[in-house]
Amino acid sequence: MSEELSLLDFYKFIAEEAQLGFVVCNTKSGEVKYSNKAAMNYMAMKIENVSEMKPLEDKPPCRSFDPSLLDQDGLHQDILVRKKDLYFMAVINVKSIGPADQNLRLVMIQDVTMQKKLERMLDAKQAELKSAFEDLLKQNKQLMELDAAKDKFIALTTHELRTPVAAILATADVLKLGFYDTEEELKEFIHMIHEQGTHLIELVNDILDFAKIRAGKMDFFVEAHDATEFSKTLFKGYAQMAEQNEVHLQTFECSDKHLAYFDTLRLNQVISNMITNAIKYNVKGGSVSLNVEDIGEFIKISVIDTGKGIAPDQQGKVFDEFETLGQVSTHHKGTGLGMPISRKLVEGMGGKLLLTSEPGKGSTFWVEIPKNKVLDEELYRSRPSQSDDLAA
């Protein structure tokens, strides 16, 4: 008998010292017949009735402990248990013990708070790694697309540069050999050389500007200027081009002075590109107008045309250098980098370049130039009198 008692004490000792909580209860009365130290420590109290194991409130994702579930032999459930003012996450397992008519159940309680915390941390890390991997795939795809676009860009640029050079050389040979009869023919050949040379410079400037912007080496010399007078003077200079393309330049009436901070050389480049495109891609008999207005923190300079317009799904691509480089073969003439370069130039001056367009009715491109200093102080400086031009 003493040996049996010793063995019973031995088993009780194991149960008492186990890290797993043990509770033996009657499923009918709810009375707790036995609970070890781990179970009472989990609850921070001596458990007299199984109902005491029920949390005082539900907190997802764990379910409240329902004593009626003890009738389910083999039950395995996550619960949230209140310990004084704190909660911990636990897993309970229920097993039938003893004769069936005694309605006894062994409830095993295991604190899995740290395990669940580690699982959440692991899930978060896995999600972070997945996101990083997807970003790498996206970046790799962009790099591959850019690499392919660069190949197309080089091929187109080579062709575009060869065309004016060939024209200039051919015309020069005609002049060298004296294959002209009148003074008018001579002037025409000289004009052709000048025109092709101008186009060649524009191509080279586009390529150099694009390279400078990509390398972050574009210089800016920002000062306060009257945007109205600046834009008006620039707009008038395109009268001849408009006439040649049978496009009407509407008279610019605004006389209000609008001071803004910008680099005159860079803004000249941007607005010239806007006006040129408005004329070039307009319809015969169409019109181009200019507007300058104060919109709060910015001065807005708009170029409005009555051309064919741009489809909504194509408008976002106008300023995207990746899209532009990928579609260079579709451009009528030049590198097609004018607008991507223009947006970068405007952003470099602290402004914005935007557009709105409706197919069949025309487009409006506008720049918003800051009225106040918003850039690093070192950029607010005068352009050196002998600075290089855009091709430098």
Mean pLDDT for the stretch of residues 123-141: 91
Give the per-residue pLDDT at 151: 73
Give the per-residue pLDDT at 304: 97
Give the per-residue pLDDT at 60: 45
Peptide bond into 99 cis (omega under 30): no
Helix 183-215 / helix 113-177 crossing angle, nearest 10 deg: 160
pLDDT digits (tens, 9 = 90+) for 266-312: 999 999 999 999 999 999 999 999 999 999 999 999 999 999 999 99
Give the per-residue pLDDT at 30: 73
CB 109 within 8 A of CB 24: no
3-state helix, strand, coil in the chain (%, to 5): 50, 20, 30
**Could you give the CA distance from residue 288 to residue 364 in angstroms, rounded to a whole number?**
10
Give the per-residue pLDDT at 329: 42
Mean pLDDT for the stretch of residues 122-128: 92
Residue 335 or 351, more confident: 351
Mean pLDDT for the stretch of residues 129-133: 92
The CATH class for the domain spanning 119-215 reads: mainly alpha
Can you list the pairs that 187-195 forms with residues at least 24 positions away whose Cβ atoms lie under 8 Å? 192/167, 193/168
Residue-range domain boundaries for the chain: 2-111, 119-215, 223-379
Is the pLDDT confidence value at 24 over 90?
A: no
The CATH class for the domain spanning 2-111 reads: alpha beta
What pLDDT band is residue 335 in, cutting at 50, 70 and 90?
low
pLDDT digits (tens, 9 = 90+) for 54-107: 443 444 444 445 556 666 677 777 777 666 666 677 787 888 888 888 888 888
CATH number of the domain located at residue range(s) 223-379 in this protein: 3.30.565.10
Residue 264 or 177, more confident: 264
Give the per-residue pLDDT at 47: 56
**Could you give the CA distance from residue 11 to residue 103 in angstroms, rounded to a whole number?**
22
What pLDDT band is residue 196 in, cutting at 50, 70 and 90?
confident
Give the per-residue pLDDT at 45: 52
